[in-house]
Chains A and B, each alone.
Chain A
Amino acid sequence: MTVQELPGAAAYRPTPPPAWKPITDPAPLLPDPEPYRVLGTDAVADADPELLLRLHAELVRGRRYNAQATALTKQGRLAVYPSSTGQEACEVAAALVLEERDWLFPSYRDTLAAVARGLDPVEALTLLRGDRHTGYDPREHRIAPLCTPLATQLPHAVGLAHAARLKGDDVVALAMVGDGGTSEGDFHEALNFAAVWKAPVVFLVQNNGFAISVPLAKQTAAPSLAHKAVGYGMPGRLVDGNDAAAVHQVLGDAVARARRGEGPTLVEAVTYRMDAHTNADDATRYRVDSEVEAWKAHDPVRLLERELLERGLLDETGVERAKEAAERMAAALRDRMNADPELAPMDLFAHVYAEQTDQLRAQAAALRAELDAEQDHDEHGTEAGR
C-alpha cells in the first residue's frame, strides 16, 4: 500500500507537529538592550542613601584589599593573586545582597566577595598563600570553597539551592563566574538544571572583558552573555558592573525572585579587569592602554564617590574616614600575612577518607619517620656544630 492509498489520504493536509507547543514565552526573559545603570540616572533618587554609603565604604575597603593582596605576592607572602581591581562593585554587591542563611559560591577571583561577606581575609587567602586549600569551614560561613576549575561550582550552587528548597528552607545560592566560564559545559548544565528545577539560584557573570588573554569576541557569538538565559527559560539581566548601586539592585531583585520561588536568574555585569589575570600575567601582550584608560574613567569607586559627594551624602571627611578604615584593614592583613603559617605535614593524611585506609596509615607512618629523622638530624647537627 502506498501513502496515497492509506485511508483518509484524500483529506490529508499538512499540519503543525502534533505534540508541539511553546514551553516558555521568551519576551519577558530578554535582557535590557543596554546595561542597567543607577548612578547618574533618575533611578538614583530611589536608592537608599544608607546603602550607598555602605557600598562606598566596602568599595574603598575592597580596592585597598586588592592592592594589599597584590603587594603580598611581591613580598612572597602569596603564591599568586588574581586581582578583582576594577570589579569591586560586583564583588561587594554579591556579598551584600545575601542574608546570612544564604550561600555564596565564589570562583578563585572572588576572595573579595567572601571578605565583604565577613570572612576573615587571612582565611580567604590560604588557597593563594598555599598553606591550605580552603581556610574556612564552608558550612559555618555558607561560602563554598573558592573554585578554580571554571564554572564547576555552578552545578553545586544549583544542587544546594534545590536541596534547601526540598527541605522547605528559605535559602538562596548566588554563584559567581567570569565571561570565560560561560563557555564551559558546566555553565550550560547548571543553568539548565536550575531552570528545570526552578532552583533558587542567582548566577552572576562578571564580564570583565578577558579570559586571561582571550577577549569576549573570541568567546561567544551571543548577542550578550545575558541573552544566554533565554535559551534556558530564565530571565537574563544586563547591568553596568561598575555601578555598585545598579549591581546591588539587579542582584537584589534576582535574589528576591528566587526567594519567592520563581526560579533562577542570570545576571551579566559588564565590568573590566584593571589588573592582569594574576600577578604572573602580562596584560600588555593582549590589550591596549587606551582601552584601560577608558575604563579608568568608569571606575566603580570613583563613580559612586562622585555621586555621593555631588548629592551631599558624603564629604571629604567621610572619604578620608573610609580610606582610614581601609588602611587599618590592610595594615592588619599585612602584619598577619607576614607571619609564617603553621604547617602540619601529618595532616596530609588526615582528611582523605573518614577512616584512614591501611595503605594511608602505612604512608603516614613513613612520613612520620622522615620528619622524625629530619628533626633528629637538625638537633644533632646543631649540637655537633657547637
Chain B
Amino acid sequence: MTTAAATAGGRTTKAKPATMAQALGRALRDSMAEDSTVHVLGEDVGTLGGVFRITDGLAKEFGDDRCTDTPLAEAGILGAAVGMAMYGLRPVVEMQFDAFAYPAFEQLMSHVAKMRNRTGGAMPLPITVRVPYGGGIGGVEHHSDSSEAYYMATPGLHVVTPATVEDAYGLLRASIASDDPVVFLEPKRLYWSKADWSPEAPAAVESIGRAVVRRSGRSATLITYGPSLPVCMEAAEAAVAEGWDLEVVDLRSLVPFDDETVAASVRRTGRAVVVHESPGFGGPGGEIAARITERCFHHLEAPVLRVAGFDIPYPPPMLERHHLPGVDRVLDAVARLQWEADS
C-alpha cells in the first residue's frame, strides 16, 4: 500500500511519513502552481488554512485572490464557483463539513451537475467540491455524515474518495484537472493517517474511475472505499486465522463506477461483502450488490452482503462506535457467506 521510495527523473528520492492531510494540501498547491486558473474558495480556507488545515499556506503563497475566505454561505460559495467556471476559472470549493454542504445542494443538483448537459456541451463546469465526510473523529451532531449516496444519485457529477495518502494526492490532482464537476469526499478520520510518501515525486493518477485491488485473496471479496478501507484491510488480516483469504477492492470513485474490476474480483472469489459507513438503506451498497448480481450471478456462492451504518441519524459521538462498521461486523458478514456449500 505504501511506497518506500519513488523515482523522479531517474533519481531516487527518500519517502518520509506524510499524512493524508499533507498530501491533499500538496495536491492543491501543485495544482495551483501549475495552472493559474485554479482558485480555492471556502470558509476559513485563507488565513486559518481551513479547519482541518488542508489549505494551510495557500493564501500566503498564492494571495487572497487565489485562495479566498468567503462569506459563510455554502450556496453562495458554490454558486459563485459556477460563475467563475463559466468565465474560464477552475474553482476548488471547500465545504467545511459533510452536513454543512447541504445548503449548496440546489446549486450542485440544478446547475453544477447539469450545466454541461443543459448547454449541449458548450459550457462544462470544471469544479471540484471538497467535502470532509464520515465519522469516527468524535464530532458532535452534524459533523459526521456519510452523504455519498446523495451525490452518486445525481447524474453529471463524479464522486471520488481516496483511502490512502498516495491516492489523496493523485485523485485530488486528477479531480481538479477533470473538465467535469467532481465531488471529492475526504474521509476525515483518515486525515491524520500516515504513509511513506514522497511529495517530491508524487505518483499522479492519470484518470479517475478505476478501482484497485488492495489485497489479493481467493475466499471472498470485500468491496469498500474511503474511511472503511483500513477496517477491511484489518479484517482481511484477522480473517487469515479463520482460514479465509480475503480480497479487498478499494473503489476510489463511486462515479464513474468500475464494474470491470469489481466483477472480475467477485468472479474469482464467488463471494462479496460491501462495506461502508453510509446507512445501508438506499446507500451505495445496494447499487453495488445489484451490479454484482447482474454481472456475476452464476459465479456467486452466496448472496452479496452489506455491512453498513445503521439506518439512523448519525449518533452522538459517545455512541458512534456502535454505529460504525468495524472489523467484527465485517468478519461476521464474511462468516455468513454460506461456506457450508463448499464442504
Chain A contacts to B: CB under 8 angstroms: 132-134, 137-140, 144-145, 149, 152, 154-164, 166-167, 173, 185-186, 188-190, 192-193, 196, 347, 350-354, 357-359
**Cβ of A337 to closest chain B Cβ, rounded Å:** 19
Known: A133-B117, A155-B80, A358-B260. 13 other contacts (CB 8 A): A132-B120, A139-B123, A145-B123, A152-B111, A155-B75, A159-B79, A162-B83, A185-B103, A186-B76, A189-B73, A192-B71, A352-B116, A358-B259
Please provide the 7 A-B residue pairs with the shortest distance between their CB atoms, ordered closest to farther: A159-B83, A155-B79, A189-B76, A159-B80, A160-B83, A133-B118, A163-B87
A111 to chain B, nearest CB (A): 15
Which of A149, A154, A347, A353 counts the most chain B CB atoms within 10 A?
Answer: A353
B198 at the interface (CB under 8 A from A): no
B contact residues around A161 at 8 Å (CB): 83
**Across-interface contacts of A156 in B (CB, < 8 A):** 79-80, 82-83, 86, 111
Instruction: State in angstroms the CA–CA spacing of A35 and B221 once bound together.
Output: 70
From 99 to 134 in chain B, residues with beta carbon under 8 angstroms from any chain A beta carbon are: 103, 106-107, 110-111, 114-124
In the complex, chain A residues whose CB is within 8 Å of the CB of B94:
none
Decide: B110 and A149 in contact? CB cutoff 8 A.
yes
- A137 near B79: Cβ-Cβ < 8 Å: no
- Interface: B231 (CB within 8 A): no
Chain B residues near A347 (CB, 8 Å)?
120
Q: In whole angstroms, how far apart are the Cα atoms of A137 and B122 in the complex? A: 6
Q: Which of B55-88 contact A (CB under 8 A)?
A: 65, 70-71, 73, 75-76, 78-88
Residues on B with C-beta less than 8 A from A357 are 209, 255-257
Contact (Cβ within 8 A) B256 A160: no
User: In whole angstroms, how far apart are the Cα atoms of A362 and B238 in the complex?
Assistant: 39
The answer to whether B119 and A138 touch across the interface, beta carbons within 8 angstroms, is yes
- B107-A155 in contact (CB<8A): yes
Tell me whether B70 and A193 are in contact (CB under 8 A): yes
Residues of A within 8 Å of B76, CB to CB, are 155, 158, 186, 189-190, 192-193
**Cα distance A139–B83 when bound, in Å?**
12
Interface: B89 (CB within 8 A): yes
**Neighbouring B residues of A189 by C-beta, 8 Å:** 71, 73, 75-76, 79
Report how far A156 CA is from B79 CA in the complex, Å: 5
> At the interface, yes or no: B180 with Cβ under 8 Å from chain A?
yes
- Chain A residue at minimal CB-CB distance from B111: A152
Collect the chain A residues with CB atoms within 8 Å of residue B124's CB. 354
Which residue of chain B has its CB nearest to the CB of A191? B76
Are the C-beta atoms of B84 and A139 separated by less than 8 Å?
A: no
A149 vs B124: C-alpha distance when bound (angstroms): 19
Give chain A nearest CB distance to B242 CB in angstroms: 35
Q: Does B155 contact A (CB under 8 A)?
A: yes
- Does B193 sit at the interface, judged by CB under 8 A? no
Nearest Cβ in chain A — how far from B269, in angstroms? Answer: 22
If A145-B119, A149-B110, A160-B87 touch, whether A186 touches B79 (CB-CB below 8 Å) is yes
Bound CA–CA A265/B305 (angstroms): 58
A-B contacts, 30 of them at CB < 8 A, read A132-B120, A134-B118, A134-B120, A137-B119, A139-B86, A144-B86, A152-B79, A152-B111, A154-B79, A158-B80, A159-B80, A159-B82, A159-B87, A160-B84, A160-B87, A162-B80, A163-B88, A185-B103, A186-B79, A189-B76, A350-B121, A351-B117, A352-B156, A354-B116, A354-B178, A357-B209, A358-B256, A358-B259, A359-B256, A359-B257
Q: In the complex, what distance in Å separates the CA atom of A354 from the CA atom of B208? A: 12
Query: How far apart are A154's CB and chain B's nearest CB, in angstroms?
Result: 7
Q: CA separation between A173 and B116, bound complex, in Å?
A: 21
Contacts A192-B76, A354-B124; A163 near B256 (Cβ below 8 A): no
- Mostly helix, strand, loop or mixed at chain A's interface? helix
Residues of B within 8 A of A186 (CB): 75-76, 79, 106-107
Task: Tell me, in angstroms, the Cα distance from A186 to B91 when the chains sit together.
Answer: 19
- CB <8 Å contact, A158 and B255: no
Complex CA–CA separation, A70 to B13 (angstroms): 70
Question: Is there an interface contact between B180 and A354, defined as CB atoms closer than 8 Å?
Answer: yes
Most A CB contacts (10 A, CB to CB) among B79, B121, B178, B179 go to B79
Min CB gap A288→B, angstroms: 35
**Which residues of B are found within 8 Å of A185, using beta-carbon distances?**
75, 103
Instruction: Look across to chain A and name the residue whose beta carbon is closest to the beta carbon of B209.
Output: A357
Q: Which residues of B contact A137 (CB under 8 A)?
A: 119, 122-123
CA distance A189 to B116 in the complex (A): 24
What residues of chain A lie closer than 8 Å to B88, measured between beta carbons? 163, 167
Interface residues in B163-218 by Cβ distance below 8 A to A read 178-180, 209
Q: Check if A352 sits within 8 Å of B89, measured CB to CB.
A: no
Q: Tell whether, in the assembled complex, residue A193 and residue B73 are in contact, meaning their CB atoms are under 8 Å apart.
A: yes
* Chain A residues within 8 Å of B255, by CB: 357
Question: For the complex, what is the distance from the CA of A154 to the CA of B221, rounded to whole Å?
Answer: 48
B252 at the interface (CB under 8 A from A): no
B117 surroundings in chain A (CB, below 8 A) = 133, 351-352
B276 adjacent to chain A (CB < 8 Å):
no
Q: Are A193 and B89 in contact (CB under 8 A)?
A: no
Least CB distance, B258 to chain A, in whole angstroms: 8
Q: Are B156 and A149 in contact (CB under 8 A)?
A: no
A162–B119 CB distance below 8 A = no
Kindly list chain B residues whose C-beta atoms are within 8 Å of the C-beta of A159: 79-87, 91
B158 on the interface (CB 8 Å rule)?
yes
Contacts of A158 on B, CB cut-off 8 Å?
76, 79-80, 83
Q: With CB as the reference atom, state the residue of chain B lying closest to A354.
A: B179
Tell me if B83 and A163 are in contact (CB < 8 A). Answer: yes
Q: Is B86 a contact partner of A138 (Cβ separation < 8 A)? A: yes
Contacts of B80 in A (CB 8 A): 155-156, 158-159, 162, 193
Q: How far is the CA of A162 from the CA of B80 in the complex (A)?
A: 8
> Which residue from chain B places its CB closest to the CB of A353 in the assembled complex?
B180
- Residues of chain A within 8 A of B65, CB atoms compared: 166
Complex Cα–Cα for A152 and B110 (A): 9
The docked-state distance in angstroms from the alpha carbon of A166 to that of B91 is 13
> Of all chain B residues, which has the CB nearest A350?
B121
Would A163 and B89 count as touching, CB distance under 8 A? Answer: yes
CB of B123 within 8 A of CB of A138, answer yes
Contacts of B39 in A (CB 8 A): 166
